A and B are shown apart, each in its own frame.
Chain A
Amino acid sequence: MKSIQARLSLGLIAALVVIGLALAQLTLWLFEAGLQRYLETGLRKESENLLVALVKGPNGIQLDERRVSAAYQRPFSGYYFRIDFEQTAPSRAVPEPVTWRSRSLWDLDMPKPDSTGLESGYKLGPEGQELLAFRADYRRLGKDISISVAQDYSPVRDGFRRMQQIGLGLGVVALLLILVLQRITVTRSLRPLERARQQIAQLQQGQRSQLDARVPSELEPLVAQINHLLAHTEDSLRRSRNALGNLGHALKTPLAVLLSLASSERLEGLPEVRAQLREQLEQIQQRLTRELNRARLAGDALPGAQFDCDAELPGLLATLAMIHGEGLLLEHDVPPSLLLPWDREDLLELLGNLLDNACKWADSEVRLGIAPTVEGFHLWVDDDGPGIPETARQQVLERGSRLDEQVDGHGLGLGIVRDIVDAWGGRLALQESPLGGLRVSLSLPRRALIDAAESS
């Protein structure tokens, strides 16, 4: 898709070139026509002068040289005439055509224009002079006299050509100037669009949660709609989380009653009933917990989501320290002011479960690390507990993956962690920790939306 800028430039250039050329040509043509009319009056006057210079001499009509302009005497001066009439020579009886040519023509012949009036386009002489000729027919001294006057038009032509070149150059400069100005104007007026584009990119990276609403009126509906959608998504998510919380609450409290009943002494005499009851209730509980947790995941629904490590991690670690006692060393290796582009509750759930697990198994130390990588983020949780032998790791992962086999609190309790990692398109691996125990390693890709925005 071409950019708006390129389209505008192309359209503008085409329009300017077509209109500019047409206008320039028309102007030149009109100017030339005007000039020729002006020259025509000059030539008419010349022809009239020549007519006046014709006098009656002893041998019929003669040209009074004194009255003829000197320019007609100098060869190839650019001013020429020819006078055609019929005269009867004294020796002859029949009148014969006579042609007088100006001396400036030298030995060249200037053709007589076919009709009276202005005519252009004659080429003449070694210098290739272009002539503008004017012919007028008179009657004088009882004879039909046709006087043709011509003037060298080449300097004017050359002048026009030069003017055309200068005009073309000026036109090109003007075009460039207009393009530059247009580019500046367009860039300025498209700046809100560019800003919106950057804000959308920021939105996807989780650096903002709304688009700036102060935009030109053309963009307002778009931005308002995007903001509305964002608010709507966030609102729906909150409502569905709330509803799930209520559902969970509604189901879990009776379950707690039943579990409590199952262990009460009223069932002391019925150990089988008790065992059955507890087993079934436990299954319901696990299923419920897992499904509720899964349904609560925001996943990729919120583009503006972000997790501020500096703000959230201390609270989480303090909570874990409180739950697992003060004796445990909880360290974290996270770059300062790191922002992760995922929903806060999802990430807390992920880290909480991972760290809780590690704390359950650790002897004295648990370490959390987060580092940005090229594809996204790398998270790892180390403990110095017994670890899991390499051969059993795959089995543990598989056990966590099947819902009915997932055992809460035993094994690794990785179920919800796996759900979250899957929802984000990440990978989970169990490795040997440098602390001696288990390392749970997660590689989480940046969200696909961001990739698309950044590569475009």
Chain B
Amino acid sequence: MNKAKASQNFKDKANAAVDKTAALGEDIDLSEYVSAGEKHTYRDNPSQLPAEAKKHMLDAGVMLDDMSQRSGTYIQMDNTPVHSSVSQDGVEVMPVSQAMEKYDWMMDYWWNAVAVDQDKYTANIELNQYDGYFIRTLPGEKTLFPVQACLYLARDKLVQNVHNIIIAEEGSELHIITGCSTASQEDSGLHLGVSEFYIKKGAKVTFTMIHSWNPETAVRPRSGVIIEEDGLFLSNYILMKPVRSLQMNPLVKCVGDNSVARFNSVLVTGEGSSLDVGSRIILDGKGSRTEIVSRAITTGGNIIARGYIEGNAPDIKGHLECRGLILGEKGMIHAVPELKGNLAGIDLSHEAAVGKIAEEEVEYLMARGLTRDEATATIVRGFLRVDIEGLPPLLAEELKRAVQASEKEVM
């Protein structure tokens, strides 16, 4: 199928799905938001972006004044790419629109890991496509430093439509840190983001996503990951600040033998927030493995923490761990761990726990001289401590800082 025909096919499917309500999460009325918006100025040097925007981006882990520890950078404000650059051979970072022009094969990756007609949000992205990032490592190449990407909401009542493509070619290693943030703490906005990951044979991708939205933002990411033989996908997600409504449930297909997917998420939210966050892992490759670990804390908002692992091949192994902590009198956490095995000899397990801080733990620490507040903070810090294998030290350090910032938010 040629490019034009494939493109028309996607448009047709999207048109048929414009009113298709998502399977999960509160329904968002898209008519409350504007799709277009003024263009922002492209900057060759992103340190020239307004200081306030840079500060919000930095809060979400995106460093623009000193990019010496980044292998590449992509910044998008609303629906306009305002900067993209690389500082390492073998790594490509550009707006996805540019990649579409550059590579004929882009259609092989377009709506392949995520269905265009999944729901009205994916349809809206296809029909109102502006841009997104394209990040790729060439075969055998390894990023020395993480590639950073920022999706920034600047305008009130705007819907940000983003379509990202990430490709790690055979034997390559790609580390990405992506931060999402808003200019204002009061403006409402809607972020719709499709991210399609393709992890080729023996490649490794770590994807660390830090969300720092505001209490008026609604967020509907739609992600899909396809992992080939001996490939590894490691996702770390941190929701640092309360958001009005967030629903995401990425679909990961471990199609190759011995492929691995790991998900760690830290969700911290407060009153007025509604989160429905999970991940679905399909283990189709022989010996493929997965681990989902989530930590959720609410000080008043509602959290549904999901996890689904399906085993369809011999010698697969999957474990799901979901722990929730309710601080204060309000708030709800609903853990939904699901396992499905389709043949004998597979190893799937889960553990889930939701509750308040145990008084005996607080007292234990108080008996050592910590005040009640110090004891509670120590327990919360411990609760949020997720040991992540395979993360480079620099990223591990940044992740730790982000978790510490979310601790402050909750305390």
A and B, one complex? no
B interface residues, Cβ below 8 angstroms from A: none
A interface residues, Cβ below 8 angstroms from B: none
